[in-house]
Structure 1
Amino acid sequence: MLGPTLISIFILLFIIFLARNNAIMPCGIKKAFIFTAITILTIVVSDQIGLSVEGTGGVTAYLLCYFGNTMSKMLSPLPPVVFNYYSEKDFFVKKKKLLIPIAIYEVLCLINLRYPLIFGVHSEHTVYYREFLLPVVTLVSAYSFVVFLYGQVRRNYDLDKYDMSYLSIVYSLMFFGTAVQMLFPSIMILWCCVSLATLMYYMFIQDLDFRTDVVTGMKNRNVFKLRMHQVEKERNIILVSFDLNDLKKVNDNLGHAVGDEYLRASAKTIQKQLKPFGRLYRIGGDEFCLLSINSNKYFLQKKLDELVKRSKCDSEYGEYGFSMAFGAAERRPGEELLECLKRADKRMYDNKAWQKSQISMNYTNAV
């Protein structure tokens, strides 16, 4: 079936083109997509070589059929491995044991060249046939995909329900291709589905970058606006506005690079402490907002009171001081969310003014 092969090749070349010309995407992720696409492309071409010479007869056809099928079988579990390797260089340094099943499988493929255990090719008519260990190809490829998922989870992407729904479609597409290939071997759409899923995953990562603040890792103002629209009909909503007190001072005295680290450490500290109550968004330079749905307002208030008393960020984010003002507002019956946000902002600015007055009073008393 040449059609799915041509579609796969077009999609994979398109991924390589997009990744090579993406000036925003991190270099490691770009390389991950490029070399993963090249790996899948090699599998697709090898598969097609094996299919194109099958049944033609002759030594050359026999060798090409064996070569094509061997290459495709050996490379089948590798695309997820390649992606994890380039997207997170130290992943397999720390998790070498995860590669053992794949390494054993690769050795088995080499043994198959001499003793057909996975597949064979009749030399007289160049006819491909299956052996009893052929299901191992699917099992090891599935294992490799699980390793890929584990590697991506370790990257701690800040995902919402929309992201999870999109990813479930991507993964379902790969499972669908695998299932069809196993149930109907003559319908060879597996790598076409994998190619399409890879393109969809590329689009997802790119979109995630556009929706994520590069300094703090929080979702940005655009996502906040979208989420506000999505939850407009919810009743039990609390909005908490935050403003970091010392960002300008840090930028002026220590430089913007340190200022960015301070900003990130402060945002991560707030998100970590308030994670049970909702999601934190960066909506301005040093301003953030927590969107909390169906949370216990008394527990939230207690946590906010504890947070405002902190003098340092969580140590895991660096040794930085911590100082912020906040204002919380619970949505009133029939109130527009934007009005609720305005009340939270006003209370935050009132809190900031009060903090400054306290500092001024303390300074006066000291003099």
Structure 2
Amino acid sequence: MIENYIATHLIDVAALAILCYLIYSNNILNQNRKWPFYIGIMLTVLIISSEAGTIIAGNANGDLRFLNIFCNVFGFAMSPLIPIILLAIYDVNILLTNKLLMLPSIVNMFATALSPWLGFVFYIDVNNHYERGNLFIVFVTAYILNLIILFISTVRTGQKHHYPIKAKFTALSLFVIAGTSIQLIFPSVYSSWHSVTLSLLLYYLLLSEFDGSFDALTRLHNRAAYDKMVNRLDGRKLYSVIVMDINNFKEINDTFGHDFGDTVLKKVASVIRKSFDNSSTCYRVGGDEFYIISSETDPVKLEHQLKCMTNNLEKERKNDGRLPTVSYGYSIFKGGKGIGFQEVLKEADDQMYYFKKIQQDMKKSTQTS
């Protein structure tokens, strides 16, 4: 029986080793996620090892009582940190700006550290028999609270980036809760770390898809994400489309080089991102073309945000006169049968080119006068 449990734990460790290789070789995953991922995997391996230690020590005589105690202390103290590390993988800034999120884990660590003497979370008697402590609920509460923190923070960040992560992460969270709850109810069924191992693999896939929806240079959403969004527009919800194009971008590349051209793209993308509210999703669809799909359909509010973008870009141009201007056009879908997205997009595109022509005519007029 012990051999079966140890074998399954070794399979978990092998799967996590493969996951490390996948993370290392993945060029899509955000580089800032990789080290938190490695730390999470290493901690999971250590906790799995500690659980294996409790199985071995718990089935031996009293000579291994101290090993049993040590492994239980480590496992109970560290396990609630797994959701927090998953949160750090997703967005470490949430932890850096909200240090109180660590409070449940810290309380659990103190209760666990005192357990060998006071029996708070667990107790192992002189005969090496394990029992849950009177305050075992502290461990359970810390783990559940951290899962809730992870879920809420991930969903909020996903909504901020207009990424449909809620349903996917809800399913993943329910999977983790179900897998770990089995062992909480039936302590002899070692299912928790099989569930966590699978969850790390699924989390990797989820975040790879998430990071794969962003343009590597500008960190706006990319063409693939744009195409997915267009396919989700069913003609029933009202929306607006804004089309943008950098003026004279080819001349900038020819004059100042492609490195500066990349700097221009990043600067313009940054201005676009900070000028539009959370009702808008910004895309770089290729070259110097940017699209925005927004749930805002009030032309006055759209004009205000576009004016804000123009003013922000003008501030940047005062710092560097080489930066270009931007032409734009927009169209509002107000409902109606037979009107598809491409018709709405064409109207915005035509408006942008009309605006671009006006700017070019004004520039020529200024140069000849």
**TM-score relative to the length of structure 2:** 0.82
Whether the aligned pair in 1 keeps the contact of 2:297 and 2:332 (CA below 8 Å) is no
1:306 maps to 307
TM-fit CA distance, 1:50 = 0.8
Spell out, residue by residue over 1:274-308, the C-alpha distance to the aligned partner (whole angstroms, 9 max, x if none). Answer: 33553221111111112234x43433553366257
Structure 2 gaps, min length 5: none
Whether the aligned pair in 2 keeps the contact of 1:81 and 1:144 (CA below 8 Å) is yes
1:177 maps to 179
1:352 maps to 356
Judging changes above 3 Å, is the alpha-carbon distance between structure 1 residues 97 and 116 closer, same or farther for their aligned structure 2 residues? same
* 1:32 paired residue among 36, 45, 49: 36
TM-fit CA distance, 1:23 = 3.8
SS in 1 for 2:118: coil
TM-fit CA distance, 1:231 = 1.2
1:11 maps to 15
2:54 maps to 50
Whether the aligned pair in 1 keeps the contact of 2:272 and 2:309 (CA below 8 Å) is no
* Distance in 2, Cα, partners of 1:111 & 1:277: 50
Between Structure 1 and Structure 2, how many residues are aligned? 360
Judging changes above 3 Å, is the alpha-carbon distance between structure 1 residues 75 and 308 closer, same or farther for their aligned structure 2 residues? closer
Mapping of 1:1-367 within 5 angstroms? 2=5, 5=9, 8-60=12-64, 62-82=65-85, 96=99, 98-99=101-102, 101-124=104-127, 126-145=128-147, 148=150, 159-160=161-162, 162-234=164-236, 236-245=238-247, 247-248=249-250, 250-251=252-253, 256-275=258-277, 277-293=279-295, 295-303=296-304, 306-307=307-308, 309-310=310-311, 312=313, 323-331=325-333, 333-365=337-369
* Residue type of the alignment partner of 1:306: K
Judging changes above 3 Å, is the alpha-carbon distance between structure 1 residues 306 and 95 closer, same or farther for their aligned structure 2 residues? closer
* Residue type of the alignment partner of 2:361: S
TM-fit CA distance, 1:188 = 3.2
Comparing 269-278 and 42-51, the one that deviates more: 269-278
Spell out, residue by residue over 1:99-122, the C-alpha distance to the aligned partner (whole angstroms, 9 max, x if none). Answer: 455345334333323333221223
SS in 1 for 2:276: helix
* Residue type of the alignment partner of 2:359: Q
Judging changes above 3 Å, is the alpha-carbon distance between structure 1 residues 339 and 258 closer, same or farther for their aligned structure 2 residues? same
* Distance in 1, Cα, partners of 2:92 & 2:69: 33
* Distance in 2, Cα, partners of 1:190 & 1:303: 52
* Residue type of the alignment partner of 2:129: V
TM-fit CA distance, 1:358 = 0.9
TM-fit CA distance, 1:211 = 1.5
* Distance in 2, Cα, partners of 1:292 & 1:103: 42
* Distance in 2, Cα, partners of 1:208 & 1:85: 15
Spell out, residue by residue over 1:230-263, the C-alpha distance to the aligned partner (whole angstroms, 9 max, x if none). Answer: 2144363432211122544554555545543432
Spell out, residue by residue over 1:195-249, the C-alpha distance to the aligned partner (whole angstroms, 9 max, x if none). Answer: 2222111111111222211222221111111221221443634322111225445
Structure 1 gaps, min length 5: none
Comparing 148-157 and 158-167, the one that deviates more: 148-157
Whether the aligned pair in 2 keeps the contact of 1:55 and 1:127 (CA below 8 Å) is no
RMSD, aligned CA: 3.4
Whether the aligned pair in 2 keeps the contact of 1:181 and 1:189 (CA below 8 Å) is yes
Judging changes above 3 Å, is the alpha-carbon distance between structure 1 residues 311 and 74 closer, same or farther for their aligned structure 2 residues? closer
